[in-house]
Amino acid sequence: MSYAADFRSCLSFWSRLPVGTQAPLPAFRTAIRALPAAALAIAAPAALALALGRASGLSPLMAALVALAVLAASTGALHEDGLADCADALGAATPERRLDIMRDSRNGTFGTLALIFSVALRAGALTALVQASTLLACLALLAGAVISRVASLTPLALLAPARAEGAGHAAGAPDSDALRMAIVGAILCATLPLFAGAGAGATVFAAIVAAGAGFFVTSHARKTIGGQTGDVAGAAQQLAEIGYLIVLSTAIAA
C-alpha cells in the first residue's frame, strides 16, 4: 500500500475523523509507518481548539479541558476506554478473570477513577503549559499525541496476544521496518516544543518518560494477563501521554 493509503488507514483505525475508508486490520502491521503523521492530524483539531479558546478569552484550564474534549471526540475516546478497562481489571485475582473484565463494556469504580485522573492530570499539565505559552501548549499537545501513540505499539511489538480474538489478536505484531519508521517519526515530532522555547533536556526527558510508560504497561500486562490486547495498547497510550505532559509542564514551570 502507498503511504497515503496507510495514512488513511491509521486515521480510520485510530480516530473518528471522516476519511472515507475503513482501516483493514490485516494492513495494520505495515500501516503503522504512517502513525506519526496520522496522530498529528488527529490532535490538530484539539490544538486548534486550545489556541482558539485562549484567543477567545477562556481561562487556561477551560481551554485545556475544551482541547481534551475535542481530542476525545476525534478518537471516539478509544484510548480512554482501554485505560478504564485495564484499571477495572486490577482487582481481579486471575488472568482469565482480568480478561473477562476487560471485555466488559461497563466501567467500574477503578475504571471511572482512572478516567477522572487521566483528564485531571492532562488538563493540569496543559494548563501549566498554556500559562507559559499557548504556542508551547499546542506544540506539546501535538508532540504528546504522536509520542504516546507510537509508545502504545510497545505491547503489540513485544507481547503475543492474550486471547485468540479481539483487536490485539487481529492486528498482530507490527512490521519491524514500519515500526522503525514510526519511531523515527515520533523522534522528529518530539522536537516540536523546542520551536516554542522548551529546553532540550526537558523535551528529551519527557519523551523518554513517555516511552518508559509504554514499557511499564507492557511489563505489567505480561505479568497479569500473559500478553497484549487492544485495551493494553490504549492504557499505554494514556499513561505515555500523561507522563509526557506532566514532565514537560513541570520542567517549564520550574
- For 153-162, the pLDDT digits (tens) are 999 999 999 8
Per-residue pLDDT, 170: 60
Write a three-state SS string for 23-78: CCHHHHHHHHHHHHHHHHHHHHHHHHHHHHHHHCCCCHHHHHHHHHHHHHHHHCCH
Cell numbers for 143: 508532540
| Separation between Cα atoms, residue 61 and residue 194, nearest integer Å | 23
- Which of 201, 197, 150 is closest to 40 using CA atoms? 150
Low-confidence ranges of the chain (pLDDT < 50): 23-24
Q: Which residues of 191-200 are buried (b: 16+ CB within 10 A; e: fewer)?
A: ebbbebebee
Pairwise CA distance, residues 35 & 32, whole Å: 5
Q: Please tell me the distance from the alpha carbon of residue 65 to that of residue 123, in angstroms, as a whole number.
A: 6
Closest to 132 in 3D by CA, of 198, 68, 189, 69: 198
Span 90-109, pLDDT tens digits: 888 899 999 999 988 888 99
pLDDT at position 136 is 98
**The residue count for the chain:** 254
All three cell numbers of 240: 505515555
The residue behind cell 508551547 is 136
Identify the helix (H) or strand (E) that includes residue 22.
none
Whole-angstrom Cα distance, residue 139 to residue 141?
5
pLDDT of residue 184: 98
Predicted local confidence at residue 253, as pLDDT: 75
Question: What's this model's pTM, rounded to 2 decimal places?
Answer: 0.93
CB atoms within 10 A of CB 201: 9
179: cell is 515500526
Tell me which DSSP letter residue 225 carries: T
